[in-house]
Amino acid sequence: MIKSAAALGSGVLITVAVSGCHSGSTTPKASSSTAAPTETSAGPTTSAAPAGYIDFLIKETDIVAPEAFTAKPPISDPGGQPGAATSFSNADGSHVIGDTILVFADEATANAALAAAKAALNESVDGEPESIDVGSGGTVASGTSPDGSKSVTVVLFTEGTTFTTLEFDGPADAEAPEDFVTDVARKQDDAIKAALGD
């Protein structure tokens, strides 16, 4: 279970590359990489996201916390996949929330990406995956990074043909509070539903 904490965590983005996503392939390859507070994606793409995908992302005003979070400019095609990504950080960069949404040709491919990311969670967080009531297949894992240097909470879910990774990363003794994580995740799911017209 996620422990409550006064401070909020910050994010490490997990990107899941699914080969041939436009052709309906369901063979995903998962990888994880750390996003520093000044980075917005693990991938090399830095161009602005298409307007349609920007609308999938939550805004900094959606993050209700004791301190203000500022969004980095969104990028397109994180990890080489259609979608959008951004990150939100507090003033000193000690807390970051990474937000990555990948858009696939069909729900089966999005579900395959979710399964691959769940299998790779131990690369980012030393914590047991649990269910969370968000989207489809909602999964959360909370604990520390494998090297124990920081707290990490990862939320994974699908919504239609999209697959979302939210990751909260902060000081080792400041695990993201459960209610805060759930609130951000549900707001992100609602934004996706609105963008999809659901």
- Nearest-angstrom CA–CA distance, 147 and 178: 22
pLDDT tens across the length of the chain (198 residues): 333 333 333 333 344 443 333 333 333 333 333 333 333 333 334 445 455 689 999 999 999 999 999 999 999 888 888 999 999 999 999 999 999 999 999 999 999 999 999 999 999 999 999 999 999 999 999 999 999 999 999 999 999 999 999 999 999 999 999 999 999 999 999 999 999 987
Q: Kindly state the tokens that stand for 23.
A: 């052709």
Q: Residue 38: what residue type?
A: T
Exposure on the CB side of residue 148, measured as CA atoms within 13 A: 0
Q: What is the pLDDT of residue 26?
A: 32
Residue spans of the domains in the chain: they are 14-196
Angle (CA) 87-89-95 rounded to 5° is: 115
pTM: 0.77
Q: Taking the mean position of all CA atoms in its chain, how far away is CA 183?
A: 14
Q: What is the pLDDT of residue 53?
A: 85
Strand partners, 144: 126, 151
Q: Taking the mean position of all CA atoms in its chain, how far away is CA 73?
A: 16
Q: What is the pLDDT of residue 80?
A: 85
Q: Kindly state the tokens that stand for 186.
A: 């549900």
CB atoms near residue 27 (< 10 Å): 10
- CATH architecture of the domain 14-196 equals 3-Layer(aba) Sandwich (3.40)
